[in-house]
Amino acid sequence: MKPNKRSITVSNAAVSYTSHLCSKHGASTEIGGLGLGSYDERGDLVVMAMLPPGPKAELSAICFVDDVNYINTSITFAKERYGLSPLLFWHLHPGDYSEPSHTDLNQCIRFTHAFRLPALGYMIMTRQNKASNRNRFWGKYLAGFNGKTNPLITIHSYIFDTDQSQYEPCCVRSIDYDGVQQEILNCDFIPERYKLRLSYPTDKIKIIDAIASAPSIPASFTNAFSRIAELITPDIFVDGHILNHDRS
């Protein structure tokens, strides 16, 4: 890792979920959403959950436009329920184009100023095509049966600095945590078609500038644990650093 290079800490569940969204819905369209979290003691971003697009978001082959009312609902919900803030945008770019566009940059400027954020994360996903069309029927069938049709999702991450009005590439530290991501996907305002499982094959996710996982869960995550434990039914509980469903 480059000295003093900034980083984003993100839950593995959030990465897996967005990768699954890109795989399932991004074959011919751009897709994107919002990341929720807080800042650590260094001022770096800690992202606990990723949200899918809203029901009225515009998805096309050349652009993605957010559903404003849905974004506002999401922000209010996350703030009131967990004390989390909107800290990151993510979306899929077509082909190999892996940097924020001019439109993305303008979005960063407007959003950081509106919410008085010192920094905003941006994750750009690119997607490898699925199994080759050269395969015959049985080749495709066997690939699907073996789970080999999942496209490779590559994640490029950036931090937009409000003071300098520019973005720079950053490192990504992932951590095992699924509490907020799993719970928020069960909420009524999340469109049903985006309520996908969190398990996307790890060998089909490539994080650029990934660094070693955090040795301990950031305080931001711990606080979210506590909030969930207070607000959710007793069959979900905190066991050390892991949020579990009691299946007994």
pLDDT for res 245: 38
Pairing of strands 119-127, 85-92: parallel
Q: Please give the chain's pLDDT, 248 residues, in tens.
A: 444 678 899 999 999 999 999 998 888 888 999 999 888 777 788 998 999 999 998 888 888 888 888 988 988 988 888 888 889 999 998 888 888 888 888 888 888 888 888 889 999 999 986 544 444 444 444 444 444 578 999 999 999 988 777 889 999 998 887 778 888 888 889 999 999 888 899 999 999 999 977 666 777 777 766 666 565 444 433 343 333 334 33
Classify 153 as helix, strand or coil. strand
Give pLDDT, residue 201. Answer: 93
Q: Contact, 196 vs 31, CB < 8 A?
A: no
Closest CA to 36 of 66, 77, 70: 77
**What DSSP element (H or E) covers 17?**
helix 12-25
Indicate the CATH number of 7-217 among 1.10.10.10, 3.40.140.10, 3.30.70.270, 3.40.50.300. 3.40.140.10
Instruction: Tell which residue, 143, 139, 109, 151, has the closest CA to residue 22.
Output: 151
Within the chain, strands assigned E span 7-11, 32-39, 45-50, 58-59, 64-65, 85-92, 119-127, 153-161, 166-169, 171-175, 205-207, 210-211, 236-239, 242-245
Model's pTM, two decimal places?
0.81
Residue 242's pLDDT is what?
38
Task: Give me the pLDDT at residue 29, please.
Answer: 86
DSSP tally for the chain: helices H, then strands E? 6, 14
Give the burial class of 248: count Cβ atoms within 10 A of its Cβ; 0-12 exposed, 13-18 middle, 19 or more buried: exposed
pLDDT at 130: 57
